[in-house]
Structure 1
């Protein structure tokens, strides 16, 4: 009889294989982790070996969290709620989902938090579906070049820094220079398109408020409601009192809501106010997660934070539905320093920038757009033909005016040509002033800039320029069809120009300026400059 031998290694391996393959019947297998510490909006969790990056986790008290750091022994979780309610030893479960927000037309006119939950006390929102926050941007083949204009209603921007649908145009400047005012005015200017009922013209707006005072957000909402613009606008609010995690996620939530409409063939305008505070919130989250800091203590991937957000703004190809999402990110500078880390990052990502100068703002030049360093890299292709025709030399004229103005501060005697150029430049700068919450239709902008650039305001006193513009537009509306023709065709035909010439000549005769003598005094001043120029030429000839 053979001797029975037992190999201990074989027994151990068999038991290990059986234990690994054993599946108990009638029970669900769930991974459970436990909180080992929680502070400053960050929870550290042990366990959950199969958790994925950016997976949504749920604490036993119902609060959600976002898995960010996947270390060997623990997970760094951004708490999406009141982190003070998280306690050591709490049970944490996986959900198997990534963070998403509800989307749909029911969000128009509502104020929601970064998780898509209403915070305006107007009841629940019936969503059409959900969309992931971290959604991939459209690919190159899914895009189309920007070719449709998006009117802001501001003469200084639509004439010299035009914006097209699908463009990313940065609004940058110091605090209290009118950045939010430009964004809100742009939303207000979409009202006529919305009321037209034409899907091709309608623009749905998303205003993302990051790190703003709650009173400021309430003020923006009240302004939109007062002007009838809230019905086509969604506000995603993450006020200064929110945890850093919410402020970091808010722009992605707004972008997801907008992308739902964009992929449905509709047009969207999204405003991020502002991305400086989002970057600061992300820096706080990263430092609390103990990620290595880089320049200005920002993490190394802060560029990717903004690039993956802004690349989601696009003009889609016809095959994808031809929808668009136009982005107006806002960045706050300190002492007009555009060479800081975050401003240079966002400038390099976007398709142009509108730079607002505090000196211009304090000099009552509002909107305080610095035309010299503001630029639109792709919007020119989308500009209305009539506007392109009248504003072609405007930027150059204003640049020459600034140079001559700087020179005239040190020169006592100026030649007539320089004086004439200074006089026109001063009137053009006055013409570009615009009160807040009063956007101009594009046809009125065209007529206004045509009158200024063609010299029809040269003899009008500077303090009367805006009144001349307002009364001249009223005159055109009552006595001619010029404004209707420009609005319907988008062009400035020869016949329209002739009608404008006749109308401005007729109107100028009856215009009463605030100075004694009216426009006639301007005529005499203009004639004196011309006589002075003739005298200078005669002296030059005699010297020869």
Structure 2
């Protein structure tokens, strides 16, 4: 997906147009999506919300972000005070609006926050209609409830206008259990999932993405070549780091390779932290991630990583716009570009640490 997005979203489980993808976890930063969406001015946004505070915050945030943001944003609200049939119909109403833009050659993003509430409303209606309950008291056709909705997200070819509808359904997990009935149903429908973990969120790691449980079924096909070059091994390194991080307290008993993995993982985690409503351009992400995955930050204290990122980006934006322009236009990192990028990072680190 073009434009400015969040670090973790572009580098690990990438997104692309016409892509239905699952997001999990209540109160783990899912509503930060409004920052991601509002950064793409050519995109029409449809937000289906079941939480009154979330809908209100989204409305205020978009209005404050840009006076024109609400001109290309549609908000469909079906809160707990609304009747179950309205909560059941809200996602379909929002999807129909998104399809209008898609079928007219435009690009639309629809966010369902969250489909767990729609499933509960559908269960309530089905039980009142005395339909036979199944697993977790849901009716037998609850899978079809979500599949017929999410399969409407698509990228049209040029003969049909070239428009797209990208769906980001949110599913609330209970105690981080992704193997529950509704989460597994939606996982089987979508083209990937990004699992946001409560524990990581409260540790201050935001976006709180669990790299091990987050996957993309199209792999790196949705990434630019430049991002593939710098972030190709990053997800594996982060997943391995999370696995062995529990043993960090026994640092003296770890071999050199494991210690190096821990050191690199800590710094990459700090590098990927990002504030709410702080979008970054792809070329900026490439420059920052390059410094981390190539080991240039291995000797820098983890507590200084955030400060380094801010200072480094400010330096590159003010002094090396030509390099960023090259990465953006070519979409890849040539040998010449990499040599220049390495020189910039090395020179900046020497002055940053002084």
Q: TM-score, normalised by structure 1?
A: 0.63
Offset of residue 360 of structure 1: 0.7
Question: Partner residue of 2:54?
Answer: 216
Match of 2:20 in 1: 168
- Correspondence for 2:64 among 212, 218, 226: 226
SS at match of 2:252: coil
Alignment correspondent of 2:300: 460
Matched, 1:494 2:344: no
Partner of 1:66: none
Matched, 1:420 2:260: yes
Give the aligned partner of residue 184 of structure 1.
34
SS of 1:330's partner is: strand
- Determine if contact 2:4/2:281 at 8 Å carries over to the other structure: no
Offset at residue 361 of structure 1 (A): 0.9
| 1:284 and 2:134 matched | no
CA distance in 1 between counterparts of 2:286 and 2:9 reads 12
| Contact 2:23/2:168 (8 A) holds in 1 | yes
Which residues of 2 match residues 348-497 of structure 1 at below 5 A? Answer: 348-378=188-218, 380-410=220-250, 412-480=252-320, 481-497=322-338
C-alpha separation in 1, matches of 2:61 and 2:313: 26
What is the alpha-carbon distance in structure 2 between the residues aligned to residue 409 and residue 358 of structure 1? 22
Return the alpha-carbon distance in structure 1 between the equivalents of residues 245 and 56 of structure 2: 42
Deviation at 1:224, TM superposition (A): 0.7
- Does structure 2 retain, via aligned residues, the 8 Å contact 1:152–1:185? no
Asked if 1 retains the 8 angstrom alpha-carbon contact of 2:31 and 2:54, the reply is no
Alignment of 1:16-415 (within 5 A): 149-150=1-2, 153-173=5-25, 175-181=26-32, 183-190=33-40, 194=41, 202-210=42-50, 212-213=51-52, 215-228=53-66, 229-378=69-218, 380-410=220-250, 412-415=252-255
What do the CA deviations read for 1:465-509 (whole angstroms, capped 9, x no partner)? 011111112111222211121122222122211111111122112
* Deviation, structure 1 residue 221: 0.3
Higher strand content, 1 or 2: 1
The whole-number CA distance in structure 2 between the counterparts of 1:379 and 1:250 is 31
SS state of the match for residue 77, structure 2? strand
* Cα pair distance change 1:172/1:336, threshold 3 Å: same
CA distance in 1, matches of 2:21, 2:146: 13
Q: Secondary structure at the match of 1:278?
A: helix
Q: Bigger shift: 319-328 or 215-224?
A: 215-224
- Alpha-carbon deviation of 1:150? 4.7
Deviations 1:392-451 (A, max 9, x none): 010111122223323343463333343232211110010011111111111111111100
Deviations 1:182-224 (CA, angstroms, capped at 9, x unpaired): x21221221xxx2xxxxxxx211111113x12x3311110001
The TM-score normalised by the length of structure 2 is: 0.95
Is the Cα–Cα contact under 8 Å of residues 135 and 181 in structure 2 kept in the other structure? yes
How far does the alpha carbon of each residue in 1:360-395 deviate from its partner, in whole angstroms, 9 at most, with x for none? 111111110000110011252121110011000101
- List gaps (5 residues or longer) in structure 1: 1-148, 195-201, 513-517, 519-544
Is residue 18–residue 167 contact of structure 2 (8 Å, CA) maintained in 1? yes
For residues 288 and 314 of structure 1, the distance between their equivalents in structure 2, rounded to whole angstroms, comes to 34
Computing the radius of gyration from Cα coordinates, the structure with the larger value is 1
For residues 150 and 376 of structure 1, do their structure 2 counterparts lie closer, same or farther at Cα, with a shift above 3 Å needed?
Answer: farther
Distance in 1 (CA, whole Å) between partners of 2:117 and 2:234 is 35
Contact 1:401/1:422 (<8 A) preserved: yes
Structure 2: unaligned runs, 5 residues or longer: none
Looking at structure 2, the residues matched to 292 and 279 of structure 1 have their Cα atoms a distance apart, in angstroms, of 15
Q: Name the one with the larger helix percent.
A: 2
Q: Size of the alignment, in residue pairs? A: 351
- Counterparts of 1:338 and 1:504, CA distance in 2: 40
